[in-house]
Structure 1
Amino acid sequence: MIQIDDAGSGSLVGGTMIGVMRVETKDFYSDVIPIKYFTSPNFEEKKYTDFCISIIDDSFKALGVEKNELIQICQGYIFDKVRKYLADNGYSVVSTKISEPLQSIIEENFMDYVIGLGIPLDYLQYTKYPFHFHRLLKWVFADIKTREKLCKTGWKSWKKYKDIKISHYSDVLLGGNYRCLKCGNIIETPCKIKIIKFTTNHDYFIYVHDNCHSSQ
């Protein structure tokens, strides 16, 4: 049996990872739909669905998938064209919620991918929901000139918040365990810091080194 799932379709940062696994052997194939397919006008035109088909074609060739194998595929929107494409080509396709073993493997691979884009591992591990929109928005706003290009800017939520008012001011941080969201390094306290404040569903505060000029 073949399982097909995605990871990162709900993450503001990064593209979307597609994973394919043969359950019996644990043979695994993955690739990423690039970020550009989630920017305008590609996103509105759903170009990501066409690229997803090309990933599935490559994965089936790599894994030697036969038409007599059952295909379990995630119900997500990213696979809207893939489901029809596979059915039209004679595969037995069932749309369902994908669980183990593929779910954990593709989520771990996506985590490695976004760490490669510059998000610190411990920042992602800090919360149960590492790819929550507003949490990632904090990371992006810490260095927006560099990081906007890493975002799914075709999203309505991004367009809603990208031009919100952002305040910058200085303060003194006396203690605590904080990481500079611009360079990614630990903030050694006590020290003077810069604070970036913005408000979406509530107030958010970003701490960066006072003289930080570099991104991770």
Structure 2
Amino acid sequence: MCLSRLGQIVYGSLAFISVGLILGSMFTPGWRQFKVKVNETLQEAESKLEVPKDLNMGLFPFLCQMPNNLTHATNQKQTNVEYCEKWFNSRPTYEKVVVGAMVAGLLAAGVSFVWNLVTFCACCCKGTIFRPLPALAGIAGLCLATAVLLYGYKNQQFIEKINQIEDLKHVENQNAVSYSFYLACGAMVASFANLVVGSLIVCLADKYL
């Protein structure tokens, strides 16, 4: 019984960490980072202009960070939001799959956290109500693994899409995943760890309850 309780505490902690990492990953603009340059002629004309160094993209258009001086450098009237919407609309299908997988992973991790609280407070039938814990953690882990592996594999191909947008010719062919991606990786590891912890909880419950 004590081991089962300890397992639930560990499970709840990992589920909480996983939810936090997923939220941090989804709502920060660090999934993709581009290196940005400004045309040399424009640099000469704007001698006081600070050349922007990079551009960060999130999973959603409102999570795009365009350097403010970039629109001045290119003498365009488009705002940062308009730039980011162009990028968002030009995304390939796989990125939409990534968003869906992240949302599904968040839901599964959230339900696992809530269900663990329910089982922790329950007074009876613990052997039965423990059983969804490893399944929920496994679903969350698989969803996050799908998002992480697909995004990591396909990321380099996205630069070809960007090069087809006339207004974004100043973006160099340097495209790398950034911190939000690694937050998702951390959430995936926490979820798979919870799969193991949840399985142990069920085994202990079957043996001692």
Structure-2-length-normalised TM-score:
0.26
Higher RCO structure, 1 or 2 (CA under 8 Å, sep 6+): 2
Higher helix share: 2
Higher normalized strand content (fraction of residues): 1
